[in-house]
């Protein structure tokens, strides 16, 4: 993988979910790098690397929403897809108003996630394009 190939960053403290997402996204021909915490992600990610972020909203330490705010504060322009097993409308509204591409509930719809990641990386297929 070259430094300019887009990467899908996955941040989730649940090993099973993280590995499942690695498999799904890898099978979808995406380069995937995963982290078990927001802090680990911030320490190791390259802010110049094109890609997108799939992040769980509820994690020990820094939450997905806090990570989204931190990226904005650091002027890191990375499309964010928030995932959660425990959501409410206020949480979704906060994520979307802060610039998240989407807010998905677990169990995830694999096709929806893959479509969103393609869109985030500018790899949408013609049928994914909005109609005029």
pLDDT per residue as tens digits for the range 101-123 = 999 999 999 999 999 999 999 97
Give domain 7-121's CATH architecture. Answer: 3-Layer(aba) Sandwich (3.40)
The pTM score is 0.89
The DSSP bridge pattern shows strands 80-84 and 102-105 to be parallel
Lowest-confidence range among 66-75, 85-94, 122-131?
Answer: 122-131
DSSP calls for the chain = --TTS-EEEEE-S-HHHHHHHHHHHHHTT-EEEEESSHHHHHHH--TTS-EEEEEES--SSS-HHHHHHHHHHTT----EEEEESS--HHHHHHHHHTT-SEEEESSP-HHHHHHHHHHHTT---GGGSPP-
CA distance 81 to 117: 8
Q: Spell out the domain ranges in the chain.
A: 7-121
Residue with the larger pLDDT of the pair 42 and 5:
42
Mean pLDDT, all residues of the chain: 90
CA distance 4 to 46: 11
Rounded mean pLDDT, 49-61: 96
pLDDT per residue as tens digits for the range 60-72 = 999 999 999 999 9
* pLDDT value of residue 103: 94
CA distance 24 to 111: 10
Which residue from 45, 32, 38, 37 is spatially nearest to 1, judged by alpha carbons? 32
Which residue from 25, 22, 43, 13 is spatially nearest to 121, judged by alpha carbons? 25
């Amino acid at each position: 993988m070259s430094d300019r190939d887009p990467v899908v960053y996955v941040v989730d403290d649940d090993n099973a979910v993280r590995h499942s997402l690695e498999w799904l996204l890898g099978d979808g021909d995406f380069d995937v790098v995963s982290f078990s915490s927001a802090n680990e992600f911030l320490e190791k990610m390259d802010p110049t690397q094109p890609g997108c972020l799939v992040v769980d909203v509820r994690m020990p330490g820094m939450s997905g929403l806090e990570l989204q705010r931190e990226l904005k504060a650091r002027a890191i322009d990375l499309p964010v897809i928030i995932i959660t097993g425990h959501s409410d409308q206020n949480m979704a509204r906060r994520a979307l108003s802060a610039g998240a591409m989407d807010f998905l509930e677990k169990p995830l719809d694999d096709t929806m996630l893959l479509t969103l990641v393609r869109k985030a990386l500018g790899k949408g297929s013609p049928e994914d394009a909005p109609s005029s």
